[in-house]
């Protein structure tokens, strides 16, 4: 048997649906997640392959996977597995890839084991893949920052003085990170329109999405010990899609002087499958030229970004079909993940396994590549017309379903992230 790497484009799986053109989960992907079924109610670790989930806890129980001396795949999060480090992540991915290869009989021809280990995706419930101890949201798209700065400040000075020198970010709320498919309750809070003399308590009327990705931290670091930009990627387990739901009217009133608070903390949705950095490796691309050059601790050479196509669909509750309202690409991000992690820790801040660090809204240079309704409809001045030709949106309405997708397209396969999805529910004033 030839020694093919897990990223080899010639690999095929005995799971036939993994070989179909357009499948998000070919054998070259093998993303990790946490799932349960009506029969197996305790969540456990799995890998997506075609239209199936491979139950890693089953393979661990029979000795086909031995990532550690203790069991890690029957846990309700991936944190214990991720904490084993990069060498273990790579070894397990290689072992799973081999077991799923079309020319490997060990699992393919063992009908009883295969019946226990493979479960149709449509039969599983996905859960948060990690316990998120800390959540940071960056602001790393130059196009997005320029759009917002032009909208609310002087277009000639859209970027604040620090933006080209450091990855701007803020610490968000980890407790309200939810998995795809979780309904999102419209927030309420203080708002103060420009025409009002005093604030009022009201439901958010400018509810928005933000198209983002995020990376999962794969190691604990010590307080006071920064992570260098050259070492940073070795501490990143993988990436997910992220929707940073935003209450623009609440944010407008509260964000000066310390930034977002209630406008962002009510919900953040992530996709359930973590695509490993190993699977993304063939899709490296150079990032934008950074001018002026960053300070030495942020200086990075080589291909520091990834060619990840992204889209957003919006479907009102009464609509028969969704409208794709955004198409963009991660490769346009000005600050890289390594730079974000290096800057986050340069002060001595420690990070932990499972920490979530979001890219910030990902916008491109064309009108349809903006990653938020704030930009797409230019704060309500240019409402979007949806697929039926009559329904318009400036911000999200109750019942709207937002679906984000991401993928890396190769010549013979794609590395898909699946989707992150959420439906807007009406505000609940009875809580107060």
144 tagged catalytic: yes
d(CA 191, CA 252): 8
Among 70, 106, 127, 144, the active-site one is 144
Residue 151: closest CA among 382, 404, 395: 382
d(CA 71, CA 358): 30
Tell me the C-alpha to C-alpha distance, in Å, between residue 311 and each of 72, 89, 211, 249.
34, 29, 8, 25
- Placement of tokens 């196509």 in the chain: 309
Residue 230: closest CA among 81, 336, 87: 336
Phi, psi of 353 (to 5 degrees): -55, 130
Q: Where are the alpha helices (DSSP H) in 303-403?
A: 337-345, 373-376
- The distance from CA 134 to its chain's CA centroid, rounded to whole angstroms, is 15
Dihedral sign of CA atoms 374, 376, 377, 382 in order: positive
Residue 234, H or E segment: none
* 88, burial (CB in 10 Å: exposed 0-12, middle 13-18, buried 19+): middle
As annotated, the active-site residues are 144
């Amino acid at each position: 048997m030839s020694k093919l790497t897990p990223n080899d484009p010639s690999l095929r799986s005995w799971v036939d649906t993994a070989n179909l053109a357009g499948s998000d989960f070919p054998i070259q992907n093998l993303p990790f997640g946490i799932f349960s079924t009506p029969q197996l109610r305790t969540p456990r670790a799995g890998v997506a392959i075609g239209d199936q989930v491979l139950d890693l806890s089953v393979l661990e129980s029979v000795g086909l996977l031995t990532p550690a001396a203790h069991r890690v795949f029957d846990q309700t999060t991936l944190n214990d597995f991720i904490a084993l480090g990069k060498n273990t992540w790579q070894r397990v991915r290689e072992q799973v890839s081999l077991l799923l290869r079309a020319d490997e009989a060990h699992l393919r021809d063992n009908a009883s084991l295969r019946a226990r280990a493979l479960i149709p995706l449509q039969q599983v419930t996905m859960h948060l893949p990690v316990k998120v101890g800390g959540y940071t949201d960056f602001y790393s798209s130059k196009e997005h920052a320029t759009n917002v700065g032009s909208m609310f400040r002087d277009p000639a000075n859209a970027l604040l003085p620090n933006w080209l020198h450091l990855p701007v970010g803020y610490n968000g709320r980890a407790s309200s990170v939810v998995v795809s498919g979780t309904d999102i309750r419209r927030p309420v809070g203080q708002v103060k329109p420009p025409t009002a003399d005093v604030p009022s308590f009201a439901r958010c009327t400018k509810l928005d999405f933000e198209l983002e990705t995020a990376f999962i931290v794969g190691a604990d670091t010590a307080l006071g010990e920064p992570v260098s930009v050259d070492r940073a990627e070795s501490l990143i387990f993988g990436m997910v899609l992220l929707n940073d739901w935003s209450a623009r009217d609440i944010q407008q009133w509260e964000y000066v002087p310390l930034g977002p608070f209630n406008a962002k903390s009510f919900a953040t949705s992530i996709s359930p499958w973590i695509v490993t950095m190993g699977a993304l490796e063939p899709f490296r691309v150079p990032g934008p030229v950074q001018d002026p050059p960053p300070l030495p601790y942020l200086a990075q050479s080589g291909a520091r970004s990834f060619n990840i196509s992204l889209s957003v669909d919006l479907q009102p509750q009464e609509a028969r079909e969704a409208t794709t309202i955004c198409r963009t690409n991660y490769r346009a991000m000005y600050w890289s993940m390594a730079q974000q992690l290096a800057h986050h820790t340069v002060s001595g801040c420690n990070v932990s396994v499972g920490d979530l660090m979001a890219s910030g809204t990902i916008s491109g240079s064309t009108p349809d590549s903006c990653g938020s309704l704030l930009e797409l409809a230019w704060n309500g001045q240019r409402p979007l017309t949806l697929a039926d030709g009559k329904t318009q949106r400036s911000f999200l309405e109750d019942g709207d379903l937002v679906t984000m997708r991401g993928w890396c397209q190769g010549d013979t396969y794609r590395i898909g992230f699946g989707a992150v999805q959420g439906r807007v529910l009406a505000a609940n004033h009875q809580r107060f």
